[in-house]
Amino acid sequence: MRKIGVLVVGTGMISVNEHLPALARMPNVEIVGIVSRSRSRAEELARKFNAKKAFTDLDEALKAEGVEVVDITRPTYEHKECVLRAFEYGKHVIVEKPIALKLSDAREMINTAKRKGLKFMVAHVLRFWPEYVKAKELIESGAIGEPRIARAYRQLEYPTWSYKMWHKDILKSGGVAVDLSIHDIDYLRWVMGEVDTVYAQGGVYVFKDATAYDYVHMLLKFKSGAIAYVEGSWIMPKGYPLHMYLEVAGTNGLLTVDNLSTASLKVFKSGGQVSYSTPVPENGYYLELKHFIDCVINDKEPLVTGEEALKSLEVALASIKSIREGMPVKLPLTEEVL
């Protein structure tokens, strides 16, 4: 069995808690190196996850023998630089969502990958999350009829754990809409099609010196005529667990996904019939990384292309524009927002 050499760039929470553990248990993956700003942290994690080498310099790491795939988990404002650098060295790239903060940066990454013939995927994990995948299958099978209305919210405490509190700066994180709600935006696009109009309200409530909105609710009008309400919140009390909720109402029923419920997926049919399930065969992060490795090995197009990620970013940015202007925003955007 051929092993794919993976270089992991970034040693923050998502890398240490999700990406590295997932990669470490894949039989067809070898973690060639880990890149961190801190030499001691890189070395500690290299020992823990059996990586061949620890690095603090990205160029040095990209030159290392055996690197085929680069997994980038650095803060959003560093995505463009890291992705393009990896492409320069001829590496396939998976980068954490969101793809970027500017539409032009996202397009540059997409075009560079195409020009060089490299695989490029953005890690929108809900497309691999078992409950959400099952929900999509049920919707497509007609279990609730034609989907017409959706609600999705994602709530947690302020991410004060982040490197130098970069989430506070809208030019570094994009705020809760771009950093958090983009999960639900991407999923709803996947299930309900493209968005036509965005109207949003939001504010800064936790840190008054922050420029990034920490609470937002948005109304999405889809080209199909369907409507969705999306709420993103970083204003929950300290210690509050991540709560993600989805509700889709169709012409013949309704389904819900609630990660804090005992039965995380429920389907309510016309006539009162209710079914419950908790489809958790595997962790979503493991599945998305496994998918990308498979795409590299078998020369397949990833499920979440750069183009798909760009469309989700555009919706999130439109919500910021709507908050600023107090008006609905029709897509596509004709100028940068951040």
CATH 3.30.360.10-classified regions of the chain: 126-281+314-330
Q: In the prediction, which pLDDT does 274 show?
A: 81
Tokens 């399930």 -> residue = 277
How far is it, in rounded angstroms, from Cα 56 to Cα 277? 45
pTM of full prediction above 0.95: yes
Q: What Cα–Cα distance (Å) separates residue 300 from each residue in 90, 123, 286?
A: 17, 16, 18
What's the sign of the alpha-carbon dihedral 185, 188, 193, 195? negative
Q: In the prediction, which pLDDT does 299 show?
A: 98
**What is the separation, in whole angstroms, between the first and last Cα of the chain?**
45
CATH 3.40.50.720-classified regions of the chain: 4-123+286-303
How far is it, in rounded angstroms, from Cα 110 to Cα 196? 23
Q: In the prediction, which pLDDT does 193 show?
A: 98
Along the chain (338 residues), what's the average pLDDT of each consecutive run of 10 residues?
96 98 98 98 99 98 98 99 99 99 99 99 98 95 97 98 95 99 99 99 98 99 98 98 98 96 89 77 94 98 99 99 99 98
Q: In the prediction, which pLDDT does 262 show?
A: 81
Q: In the prediction, which pLDDT does 271 show?
A: 79
Q: In the prediction, which pLDDT does 277 show?
A: 78
Q: What Cα–Cα distance (Å) separates residue 177 from each residue in 59, 201, 209, 215?
A: 32, 11, 18, 8
Would you state the structure tokens that stand for residue 98, as one six-digit string? 């969101």
- Reported residue count of the chain is 338
**How is domain 126-281+314-330 classified at the CATH fold level?**
Dihydrodipicolinate Reductase; domain 2 (3.30.360)
Q: In the prediction, which pLDDT does 275 show?
A: 83
How far is it, in rounded angstroms, from Cα 132 to Cα 150? 13
Q: In the prediction, which pLDDT does 185 show?
A: 99
The CATH number given to 4-123+286-303 is 3.40.50.720
